[in-house]
């Protein structure tokens, strides 16, 4: 029997490998990045960093429709980028197992918002599994492939940062090889024009009914009756925190958290004196139980934000407010010593330029001592916000900043839009030749694949010219005098310009 000490993300990779998964796609994003990195260690699997989450979803879904088990992994905000194909894939179904692994980030350790992805299962009408530990992550991913094929649907496996990055001993299994299913020539299932989609919607509703029946009987939803004075309905990592604090209580642990198992929930509620719902972030279970007309207790609203931790579980159960954070000395994150972004943002600050920023390690330039970034909303918005801001203040010195990987992800469409609509201004691509913030992943502009194999290199300068930029300059920002002069010149011109500030990340080995 082979054992390994794996993180939740590594466990997902092993679970998918053992289940015979053949294609996996993702775009890096904490806390999900290590899933694809671990999968890439298996030569039997076709693994890729895609240019963005929508592309990753579509490639993986296409492989599943083509007939091989496939997986798509992302962080919660990455799933937003893939929502267009996700919603319609609920209608098309699959031809071989398709699993969506999404990692939420309660507490926003490395994210711009704190959304609770469980709601996606509700409005996409896709089943959702919620492992409570790394070993369950490995088991649930394998079972998700089976559920996907049994019910002809993508299946969502929802992780959180704590499960993704916690490590646990677990037993490894052998890979089960799966034969490729033949191509399905079924346009009424896979071509979603209105006439076909209306009929597929009926299929989705019928499938949801069958999944509700499955939710009532699956052992993924587990009732444990001990002391009946209190019973906890919970899921994910809070289950283990509660078990530490209340080892003798009764539990309904929801590993298959959507569709809801109403009969099992009523059975559990009737078997305990007091029902307490404990869940991280939004009142997802709470809202449903209220609609069922059940009486229960739950956390104070102050716990709907931030991560639940073992030290606050008694306060959560007793309905108390979240205690004020302890007064400790804080050390804000900052750019690395020697990072080329220091030079870029120091110049922008010197010229008192309003900077539309983007998602990357360079977002740290918004903090002291640099304090030279003034907006940051989502991937690609450094380019599009620049255009929008200039519509409101055409005579102000405004500039958009985006990283090399982020420009390929979704910044390029904004540049095309600016050129097409005759907009002016300056976009600065801070090109450090790596996807740095998530640990140093490759992207099309590095010319290397996820396995560090040479591939076609995307020429950013040629790309920006072909998008319609009037001027494209490639310059090393550490050449401060020349860089300073170039920025001063471009921000005062009536033109659409791109400055590629190119200098490799100090952490590239």
DSSP string, 336-363: PTT-HHHHHHHHHHHTT-EEE--SSGGG
Q: Where in the chain is the domain with CATH 3.40.50.920?
A: 221-318
C-beta of residue 438 within 8 angstroms of C-beta of residue 361: no
Which pLDDT tens digit goes with each residue over 148-195? 999 999 999 999 999 999 999 999 999 999 999 999 999 999 999 999
* Calpha distance 387→69 (Å, rounded): 42
Q: Where in the chain is the domain with CATH 3.40.50.970?
A: 3-216, 340-501
Domain 340-501 grouped into CATH 3.40.50.970: yes
pLDDT for the residue 1: 83
pLDDT for the residue 203: 98
Q: Which residue carries 């994003």 as its tokens?
A: 29
Q: Which residue carries 């699997």 as its tokens?
A: 45
pLDDT for the residue 22: 98
CA 253 to chain CA centroid, nearest Å = 24
C-beta of residue 460 within 8 angstroms of C-beta of residue 500: yes
Residue 454: beta bridge partners? 448
* Calpha distance 403→399 (Å, rounded): 14
CATH architecture observed for domain 221-318: 3-Layer(aba) Sandwich (3.40)
pLDDT for the residue 509: 66
H helices within 351-394, ranges in order?
Answer: 381-392
* Calpha distance 10→138 (Å, rounded): 8
Q: Give the CATH number of domain 3-216.
A: 3.40.50.970
pLDDT for the residue 508: 81
pLDDT for the residue 233: 98
Closest CA to 129 of 106, 107, 96, 151: 151
pLDDT for the residue 326: 83
Closest CA to 101 of 114, 88, 82: 82
> What does the pLDDT profile of the chain (509 residues) look like in tens digits?
899 999 999 999 999 999 999 999 999 999 999 999 999 999 999 999 999 999 999 999 999 999 999 999 999 999 999 999 999 999 999 999 999 999 999 999 989 999 999 999 999 999 999 999 999 999 999 999 999 999 999 999 999 999 999 999 999 999 999 999 999 999 999 999 999 999 999 999 999 999 999 999 999 999 999 999 999 999 999 999 999 999 999 999 999 999 999 999 999 999 999 999 999 999 999 999 999 999 999 999 999 999 999 999 999 999 999 998 888 888 888 899 999 999 999 999 999 999 999 999 999 999 999 999 999 999 999 999 999 999 999 999 999 999 999 999 999 999 999 999 999 999 999 999 999 989 999 999 999 999 999 999 999 999 999 999 999 999 999 999 999 999 999 999 999 999 999 999 988 86
Residues 6+ apart with CB under 8 A from 340: 430, 432, 476, 477, 478, 501, 503, 504, 505, 506
CA 201 to chain CA centroid, nearest Å = 27
pLDDT for the residue 221: 98
């Amino acid at each position: 029997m082979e054992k390994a000490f794996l993180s939740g993300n590594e466990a997902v990779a092993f679970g998918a490998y053992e289940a015979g998964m053949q294609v996996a796609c993702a775009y890096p994003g904490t806390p999900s990045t290590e899933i694809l990195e671990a999968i890439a260690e298996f030569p039997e699997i076709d693994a890729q960093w895609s240019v963005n989450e929508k592309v990753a979803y579509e490639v993986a879904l296409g492989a599943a429709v083509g007939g091989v088990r496939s997986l798509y992994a992302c962080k919660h905000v990455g799933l937003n980028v893939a929502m267009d194909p996700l919603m319609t894939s609920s209608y098309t179904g699959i031809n071989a197992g398709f699993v969506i692994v999404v990692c939420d980030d309660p507490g926003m350790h490395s994210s711009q918002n704190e959304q609770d992805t469980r709601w996606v299962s509700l409005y996409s009408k896709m089943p959702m599994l919620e492992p409570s530990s790394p070993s369950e992550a490995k088991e649930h991913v394998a079972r998700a492939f089976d559920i996907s094929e049994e019910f002809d649907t993508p299946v969502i496996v929802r992780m959180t940062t704590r499960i993704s990055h916690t490590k646990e001993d677990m037993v490894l299994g052998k890979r089960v090889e799966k034969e490729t299913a033949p191509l399905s020539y079924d346009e009424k299932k896979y071509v979603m024009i209105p006439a076909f989609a209306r009929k597929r919607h009926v299929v989705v509703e019928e499938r949801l009914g069958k999944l509700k029946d499955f939710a009532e009987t699956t052992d993924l939803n587990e009732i444990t009756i001990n002391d009946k004075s209190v019973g906890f309905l919970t899921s994910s990592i809070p289950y283990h925190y509660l078990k530490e604090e209340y080892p003798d209580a009764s539990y309904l642990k929801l590993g298959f958290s959507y569709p809801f198992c109403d009969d099992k929930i009523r059975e559990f509620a009737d078997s305990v004196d007091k029902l307490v719902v404990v869940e991280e972030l939004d009142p997802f279970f709470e809202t449903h139980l209220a609609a069922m007309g059940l009486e229960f207790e739950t956390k104070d609203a102050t716990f709907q934000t931030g991560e639940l931790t073992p030290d606050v579980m008694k306060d959560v159960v007793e309905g108390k407010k979240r205690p004020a954070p302890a007064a400790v000395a804080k050390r804000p994150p900052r750019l690395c010593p020697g990072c080329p972004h220091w030079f870029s943002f120091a110049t922008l600050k010197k010229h008192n330029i309003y900077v539309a920023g983007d998602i990357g390690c360079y977002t740290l330039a918004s903090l002291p001592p640099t304090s030279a970034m003034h907006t940051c909303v989502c991937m690609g918005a450094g380019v599009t916000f620049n255009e929008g801001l200039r519509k409101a203040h055409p005579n102000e010195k405004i500039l958009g900043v985006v990283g090399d990987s982020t420009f390929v992800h979704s910044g390029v469409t904004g540049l095309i839009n600016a050129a097409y609509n005759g907009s002016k201004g300056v976009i600065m691509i801070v090109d450090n030749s790596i996807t740095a913030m998530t640990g140093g992943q490759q992207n099309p502009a590095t010319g290397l694949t996820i396995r560090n194999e040479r591939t076609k290199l995307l020429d950013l300068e040629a790309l920006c010219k072909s998008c319609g930029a009037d001027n494209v300059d490639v310059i090393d920002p550490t050449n401060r005098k020349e860089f300073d002069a170039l920025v001063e010149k471009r921000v005062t011109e009536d033109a659409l310009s791109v400055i590629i500030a190119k200098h490799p990340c100090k952490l590239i080995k």
